Amino acid sequence: MVNQLVITYDTDLIVNRAMMILFAAICLTILYVRFAMAERPAKVEKFSVLNLSTVAEGVYYPESSPATLLDEFETPDYKASAFLPRVPVLEVTRVNEGIRANVNKLITALGVEFRLLRAERSLIILVPLAIILSILDLAFFKVVPEVSYSASYASGTAKALLLFLMGVTVFYTGEAMHRDREARIEPVLWATPAPNSVFLLSKFLATLLLALSLIVLVGLAAIVIQIIRGHTPIDAQPFLITYLVILVPSLLFLTAISIALNVLLRNKYVVYMVSVGTGAGLFYLYSIGYNHWLYNPLLYQLWKYADLTGAGNNQARIFLQRLYCLGIASASLSLAHLFFQRKSTTGLITAGRPNGNGWSLLIMIASVAIAVVVGSMIVA
């Protein structure tokens, strides 16, 4: 019976609880001191005000050069225009439109995103942790070659890396999409003469290249582990095939979906909640046997290396499923461009030709059509 349960609060229990409260207080104090965002008010300096006289409209010196003479100092006997040479001035125009100008803007914005990513302190912990956990099984447990040792190492790292790619993509996409607003510089950036695609693609490509660099590091670490364990010969082809077919399309899909969710929901914490909930729900369905190709974009537990080389039975279906994911990714990016908060134009058609929003609508329709057609082929 619960009402007959007797609990004695002895000295050890009280000391333990007090130590836990003290430890929590110390952690909260360190957290507050380390990550406090409020800036201390700067010391206000007092300035003296000088009562200076206003500047005169002009001062005329007879010994001045004819090139410095102004019209108001011209006299009937001395005309400045007679001494000034007539030099044709080149007409200068600012090029701000066209593919080349937009590509230069995208490269500049991408460089800014890379510098901001380099300042992220979480990368110091996340990248080594992802590498270690991705090669942990291969480093300490027995590796059974499926086709070859290189194929087994490539397949093992690809399967272990999927979860980290999901976390990296969702987290860093959310940070990149909302960093400008949190730093209160978003109006300044939006005032620059750059199309919306530059703002979206720079963040998309920055997150994508960050995750790709993580894939390269994991692959190199797996090769080093393979050499140390003496599982030779080393073959780079299984790594290239596995990563290009399995990881890269999955990464494109995850990054595009994250960009679209951040644009539509407009709150990174809501996006995190939706992403974690959706991922947990899908993995639960996969674990109980509901593992269909249409709602398994990462191909979780649906492939083996033999399928990628044609020796298995699922090579054609894997190719169609990858095309299906790329169609959804393209539609997601187009949708994000359509609903991006910064509006440069009001309509879809301007001056008889489609602007960026018009092209986004056309690309989204074409991408959805491709995804529907390919999805029907997968089901069939």
What is the model's pLDDT at position 254? Answer: 94
Using an 8 Å Cβ cutoff, are 295 and 284 in contact? no
What is the model's pLDDT at position 209? Answer: 93
Of 7, 10, 201, the residue nearest 107 (C-alpha): 201
Q: How many domains does the chain have?
A: 1
Note whether residue 121 is domain-resident. yes
Helices (H), the chain: 11-35, 99-118, 122-134, 136-140, 149-182, 186-190, 196-228, 237-242, 248-265, 268-287, 305-308, 315-338, 356-379
Averaged pLDDT, 223-241: 90
Note whether residue 73 is domain-resident. no
Structure tokens belonging to residue 327: 């169609």
What is the model's pLDDT at position 336? Answer: 93
Note whether residue 255 is domain-resident. yes
Of 304, 299, 367, the residue nearest 333 (C-alpha): 367
Averaged pLDDT, 184-211: 89
Q: CA-to-CA distance for 355 and 345, rounded, in angstroms? A: 8
Confidence of residue 352 (pLDDT cuts 50, 70, 90): very low
Note whether residue 184 is domain-resident. yes
Say whether pLDDT at 13 is over 90: no
Q: Per-residue pLDDT tens for 263-289?
A: 999 888 999 999 999 999 998 888 888
What is the model's pLDDT at position 70? Answer: 47
Note whether residue 52 is domain-resident. no
Q: Per-residue pLDDT tens for 289-343?
A: 888 888 899 988 888 888 888 766 788 889 999 999 999 999 999 999 999 887 6
Say whether pLDDT at 229 is over 70: yes
Q: Which residue type is seen at 35?
A: F
Note whether residue 365 is domain-resident. yes
Say whether pLDDT at 257 is over 90: yes
Note whether residue 64 is domain-resident. no
**pTM, whole model, 2 decimals?**
0.71
Note whether residue 293 is domain-resident. yes
Say whether pLDDT at 75 is over 90: no
Residue 147: other Cβ atoms inside 10 A: 17
Host domain of residue 248: 99-379
Residue 145, preceding peptide bond in cis (omega within 30° of 0): no
Confidence of residue 370 (pLDDT cuts 50, 70, 90): very high
Of 354, 380, 192, the residue nearest 293 (C-alpha): 380
